[in-house]
Amino acid sequence: MKEKVETVTIEWNGGNLACRWRPGKENPIIFLHGICGSSAHFNTAFIDPSLCNHSLLAIDLPGYGNSSPISSWNLDLVGEAIKTAMEHFLDHKPWAVAHSISSSVVIRLIKYLSGIILLEGNMIPQHLDFSDKVLKSKRHEYTKEYERIQRASSMVLKYQTYIKDNILLDYYSTTYALCSADTVWDTANNCSNDIKDLEVIKRLSKLDFPVYCLYGAESNYKKSISDVKKVFPDMQLHTITNSRHFPMIDNPEETWRIVVNILRKIEK
């Protein structure tokens, strides 16, 4: 029988980390969301039948969702937070599914993982479109711009997904209200520097296990695929049909089926 999904808050760094957790008998999977997101963006994984036997852990990054903010948002500290959550719930190495900017988070966890699956993962400068827009404003000036984005969050998400249902749009876009302008700006700055300093490329290139990248067939990400192949010739790429920047929201059935097939192939 499928175990019940729990919302669990654990203490970390003087604050809290909010986690969505469901134990299972098969290999654990952790989910890391993108900028302005939360663990809610992976709610489809917890109800998908193909994942019903896996232990699943989705984490609100510090400053996002229901996790406490941190005074100095930086990638190494965020990596430590995720490691703490993994140690709390898991007894062996999981696979990681990381969306968008969380490529920069997941590379700080490599020695604790069995494999990595990126969802529209930021790896090269061509993937920094949103971060570049954020960083056009200085940190102390970004508040008004982010307030505008928050007011229009449903519309912002509408143009990044194929969601037609206004209730679903409102549900997923609530994540924009759960993080501050400072957190968003700091995240964009950290991840932009990480990619421009080639940190993501360096760390992914040294792995002794395979890395996969899934991307939406209708997203702008596909324009960068030839460049990704040049940098990572051995990376296995999968297109998710009827999907834009959020494959796990637009086409969860195909997304999670591919994830499960990858795990089964590797574990044979």
The answer to whether residue 266 scores a pLDDT higher than 80 is: no
pLDDT band at 89 (very low <50, low <70, confident <90, very high): very high
Q: What percent of the chain has pLDDT over 90?
A: 90
Q: What is the DSSP string of 135-190?
A: TTS-GGGHHHHHHHHHHTHHHHHHTTS----HHHHHHHHGGGGGS-HHHHHHHHHH
Stated pTM of the model:
0.96
**Considering just the CA atoms, what is the radius of gyration of the chain in Å?**
17
Buried b (16+ CB within 10 A) or exposed e, 148-176: ebbeebbebbbebbebeeeeebebbbbbb
Q: What pLDDT does 267 receive?
A: 55
- pLDDT on residue 1: 47
Mean pLDDT of 99-110: 97
**Tokens linked to 6:** 């729990």
Query: How many other β-carbons are positioned within 10 Å of the β-carbon of residue 138?
Result: 8
pLDDT by residue (tens digit) across 173-210? Answer: 999 999 999 999 999 999 999 999 999 999 999 888 88
Residues 6+ apart with CB under 8 A from 174: 40, 153
**What structural domains and CATH numbers belong to the chain?**
6-267 (3.40.50.1820)
In order of 16, 25, 72, 178, 216, the CA distances from 260 in angstroms are 31, 14, 36, 30, 18
User: Mean pLDDT over residues 232-255, rounded?
Assistant: 96
What DSSP line would sit under 61-128, residue for residue? Answer: PTTSTTSPP-SS--HHHHHHHHHHHHHHH-SSPPEEEEEGGGHHHHGGGGGG-SEEEEES---SGGG-
Does pLDDT of 253 surpass 50?
A: yes
DSSP code, position 251: S
The pLDDT, as a whole number, for residue 2 is 59
pLDDT of residue 4: 87
Residue 81 above 70 pLDDT?
Answer: yes
Tell me the average pLDDT of the chain. Answer: 94
Could you read off the pLDDT of 160-170 as tens digits, one per residue? 999 989 999 99
Q: How many CB atoms lie within 10 A of CB 257?
A: 16
pLDDT at 40: 96
